[in-house]
Amino acid sequence: MNNCSICNSKDLKVSYFEYQKTTFKRYDCLSCSFTESEKLGDKESDQAKYSSKQYKIKNIYRIPILLNFIDFINYRLILKKFGLNKDSYILDFGCGKGIFIKFLSYFGFNNLHGYEIEKNRSKFAKNLNKNANIYLNSSEFKQNKFDFISLIHVLEHIKDPEKIIKEIKQKLNRDGILLIEVPNFYSASSRFAKNYWAHFTPQYHTNHFSINSLKKLLKNNGFKIKTCSTLNLYHGYNSVFSSFLKLIGFKSSNFYQTLKFRFYLLGPAYVLLFPFIYLFEVFFSFKSDGSVIRIISKT
């Protein structure tokens, strides 16, 4: 890699780091604050990577669904703010289990579509959303156009983010809306927790965005930024909670796996500390230092 994937700058700082006994190469762009990491000798396909045990579907956990529900209410308000109605064509790109699509169906949206490359999750989403169109391959919706496309915690996983943004622009109708959420790699919680941050999983997250780099990616591809914020309930809370765990000496290089398999130990703290920890995230978000970047842009 000789140039930044976002701004094409050659002003890169190259370093190496160890994560879970694996060596990664890291590129930091000194121009736009975009960071990219790669596992040395990694030739594994995205389909193989996301078919691993990490992404195995067991069930839907109640607490994440409850926290996501509040975020989904916010998304619904965003749809209303930008004039989208129940007949608007909506695509959730990287829809996972299809929970966001299911939520929108409860509000009466009729033209719902989801795209998920991992077979088990795509199948789960299809079973969950009988009246929506769930695609496993992008060729299945090649001719479709949409009024709204969401990439919620997807872009950090994709090796060539600009290629995806260009493709998505072609999928949007005139004045179409694009909602992107990614972890804020330069947030307060990330700076504190470092390699123990909830969203620092370089085997899956190859792209690490700053607000500046994500805005630049969109502007370079003809999008107009409408709103930018750094507050998210579910992912934001987990980010600060992972910082809290580091503070008390409980260090785990895979936060979500640890929380899932040791919930009997961490669960009480996870629930009881919620109002206090979340206040920190709200405070940081007012300084654009929250754990998640959410940008809404328009073609």
DSSP conformation class of 55: G
Residue 43 has a pLDDT of 63
Residue 64 has a pLDDT of 58
CATH number, span 51-298: 3.40.50.150
What percentage of the chain has pLDDT greater than the value 70? 90
**Listed range (23-27, 205-209, 242-246) with the worst mean pLDDT:** 242-246
Residue 258 has a pLDDT of 74
What percentage of the chain has pLDDT greater than the value 90? 63
Calculate the average pLDDT of the chain. 88
Which residues, in sequence order, are bridge partners of residue 15?
26
Higher pLDDT, 269 or 30: 30
Mean pLDDT, residues 190-214 taken together: 93
Residue 113 has a pLDDT of 97
- The contacts found for 274-283 with CB under 8 angstroms, 24 or more apart, are 274/237, 277/237, 277/240, 277/241, 277/244, 278/233, 278/236, 278/237, 278/240, 280/240, 281/189, 281/231, 281/236, 281/237, 281/239, 281/240, 282/231
Q: Which among 184, 193, 225 has a CA at the least distance from the CA of 33? A: 184
Q: What confidence tier does 67 reach under pLDDT thresholds 50, 70, 90?
A: low
Residue 234 has a pLDDT of 86
Q: pLDDT per residue over 108-166, tens digit each? A: 999 999 999 999 999 999 999 999 999 999 889 988 999 999 999 999 999 899 999 99
Q: What confidence tier does 50 reach under pLDDT thresholds 50, 70, 90?
A: low
Cross-sheet strand order for the sheet of 12-19: 12-19, 22-29, 35-39, 207-208
Phi-psi category of residue 224: left, alpha or beta, with phi > 0 → left and psi -120 to 50 → alpha: beta
- How do the domains of the chain map onto residue ranges? 51-298
Q: pLDDT per residue over 232-269, tens digit each? A: 988 888 899 888 888 887 776 677 777 776 777 787 88
